[in-house]
């Protein structure tokens, strides 16, 4: 449960990290609330992992401040920060049993043996491995090993849990199962979590909020629905989920709606910038937000296109559409709706949408 009344558990103030002339992290500021699951999402080299490593104390910022539980920690070594960490590679001690692996951080902190035993037992039960304490890591599956790594990071109840691509080494089924398991643990234990991934689906599934990184900066931070439905930049629109982009020209307003010329047709849009009529723009719209109709079924409105391919996706169908200028768009419909329109490759169609689902960005 997020607790905004407690203030942020973590605050980054103007964090910077350079390698020579390259700015790996460039003026990153954010606040993580108590009990919040915040994900750093971005492509390789965007600065997300470097930022996480500075929070962990494994790298030092060139400037800026890291505040944990109200106290500056940017100059403290990792072992003096109240932080647990889970890596992509489990980093378990191969010669130690599961119980010894989980107990290791407690031993380093001088926790009395009886209390440590109780805490280890509780941690293993928490991750669903109550009967695996006497096994060695090599006797476990990849998913079980990652659960042990998670138990080890959580056993001493750190103020903050950091996870760096923790599911990247697992296959799809295991990864999706552990996504839900980590989300459950986060909710039940009220953990404050900072999570790094390049997997958009993973970020959307697990997070309370997502910070999208590119070029060492945060491009946008918000809830999964904020980023998906209301991207603030063209980069966010293209990186989070699937998006169609097409050239457009901004027109004036028609009532409350902004209009743009798309393939010669005035269409409703939401603009992320102020510009005079005639300004070139790029329109972004999600495939599932496109409406398709046969020309005979509409009133002549919408953008004309040709259906060039129909792809079977099981529970959905993907329509590949070619606009008059040669631009190709993709539309997705659930199976029942797609079968109802009865379109086939070669058919002429018209495309339309709600203005809130079509965002114009500067060209």
Q: Say if residues 105 and 182 touch (Cβ distance below 8 Å).
A: no
| Confidence band of 257 (pLDDT split at 50, 70, 90) | low
The residues of the chain that CATH labels 2.40.50.140 are 244-362
Q: Which CATH class is domain 244-362?
A: mainly beta
- Confidence check: pLDDT of 255 > 60: no
pLDDT at 39: 97
For residue 193, CA distances in Å to 32, 46, 131, 188, 209 come to 8, 20, 27, 13, 11
> Minimum mean pLDDT among 64-73, 196-205, 254-263: which range?
254-263
| Confidence band of 296 (pLDDT split at 50, 70, 90) | low
- Confidence check: pLDDT of 203 > 70: yes
Q: Say if residues 46 and 216 touch (Cβ distance below 8 Å).
A: yes
Range 3-239 has CATH code 3.30.360.10: no
Q: In what order do the strands lie in the sheet with 303-312?
A: 291-293, 348-352, 303-312, 316-322, 328-334
pLDDT at 157: 87
pLDDT at 174: 78
Average pLDDT over residues 50-63: 95
| Confidence band of 4 (pLDDT split at 50, 70, 90) | low
335 secondary structure, DSSP code: H
Q: DSSP string of 61-92?
A: -SEEEEEETTEE-TTS-GGGS-EEEE-SS---
User: What share of residues in the chain are helix, strand, coil (percent, to 5)?
Assistant: 30, 35, 35
232 secondary structure, DSSP code: S
Decide which of 109 and 90 is more confident. Answer: 109
| Confidence band of 301 (pLDDT split at 50, 70, 90) | confident
- Confidence check: pLDDT of 1 > 70: no
pLDDT at 91: 83
pLDDT at 297: 59
pLDDT at 221: 97
Model pLDDT for residues 311-353, shown as the tens digit of each residue: 999 999 999 999 988 889 999 999 998 888 888 999 999 999 9
Quote the percentage of the chain above a pLDDT of 70: 96
Give just the sign of the alpha carbon dihedral 269, 272, 278, 280.
Answer: negative
pLDDT at 185: 84
pLDDT at 300: 60
Decide which of 36 and 142 is more confident. Answer: 36
In whole angstroms, what is the distance from residue 175 CA to residue 29 CA? 30
Average pLDDT over residues 267-278: 81
338 secondary structure, DSSP code: H
Q: Which residues pair with 244 in a beta bridge?
A: 285
Decide which of 117 and 298 is more confident. Answer: 117
> Minimum mean pLDDT among 5-14, 46-55, 110-119, 130-139: which range?
5-14
Average pLDDT over residues 178-183: 85
In whole angstroms, what is the distance from residue 337 CA to residue 75 CA? 58
- Confidence check: pLDDT of 299 > 80: no
Question: pTM to 2 decimals?
Answer: 0.88
The residues of the chain that CATH labels 3.40.50.300 are 3-239
- Confidence check: pLDDT of 306 > 60: yes
In whole angstroms, what is the distance from residue 143 CA to residue 318 CA? 33
In whole angstroms, what is the distance from residue 226 CA to residue 207 CA? 12
């Amino acid at each position: 449960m997020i607790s905004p009344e407690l203030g942020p558990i973590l605050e980054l103030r103007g964090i910077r990290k350079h390698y020579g002339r390259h700015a790996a992290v460039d003026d990153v500021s954010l606040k993580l609330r108590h009990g919040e699951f915040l994900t750093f999402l971005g492509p390789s080299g965007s600065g997300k992992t470097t930022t996480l490593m500075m929070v962990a104390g494994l790298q030092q910022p060139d400037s800026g401040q890291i505040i944990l539980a109200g106290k500056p920690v940017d100059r403290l070594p990792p072992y003096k920060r109240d932080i647990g960490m889970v890596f992509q590679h489990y980093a378990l001690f191969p010669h130690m049993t599961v119980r010894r692996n989980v107990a290791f951080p407690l031993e380093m902190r001088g926790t009395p043996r009886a209390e440590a035993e109780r805490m280890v037992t509780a941690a293993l039960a928490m991750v669903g491995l109550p009967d695996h304490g006497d096994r060695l890591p090599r006797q476990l599956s990849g998913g079980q090993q990652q659960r042990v790594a998670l138990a080890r990071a959580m056993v001493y109840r750190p103020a903050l849990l950091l996870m760096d691509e923790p599911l990247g080494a697992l296959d799809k089924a295991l990864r999706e199962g552990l996504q839900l398991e980590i989300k459950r643990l986060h909710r039940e234990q009220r953990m404050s979590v900072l999570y790094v991934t390049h997997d958009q689906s993973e970020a959307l599934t697990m997070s309370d909020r997502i910070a999208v990184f590119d070029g060492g900066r945060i491009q946008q931070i918000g809830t999964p629905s904020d980023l998906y439905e209301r991207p603030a930049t063209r980069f966010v629109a293209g990186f989070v989920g699937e998006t169609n982009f097409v050239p457009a020209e901004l027109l004036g307003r028609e009532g409350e709606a902004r209009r743009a010329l798309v393939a010669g047709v005035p269409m409703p849009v939401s603009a992320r910038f102020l510009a005079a009529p005639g300004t070139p723009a790029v329109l972004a719209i999600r495939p599932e937000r496109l409406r398709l109709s046969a020309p005979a079924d509409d009133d002549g409105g919408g953008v004309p296109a040709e259906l060039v391919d129909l792809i079977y996706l099981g529970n959905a169908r993907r329509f590949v559409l070619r606009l008059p200028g040669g631009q190709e768009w993709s539309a997705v419909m659930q199976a029942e709706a797609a079968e109802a329109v009865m379109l086939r490759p070669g058919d002429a169609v018209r495309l339309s949408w709600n203005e809130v689902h079509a965002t114009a960005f500067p060209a």
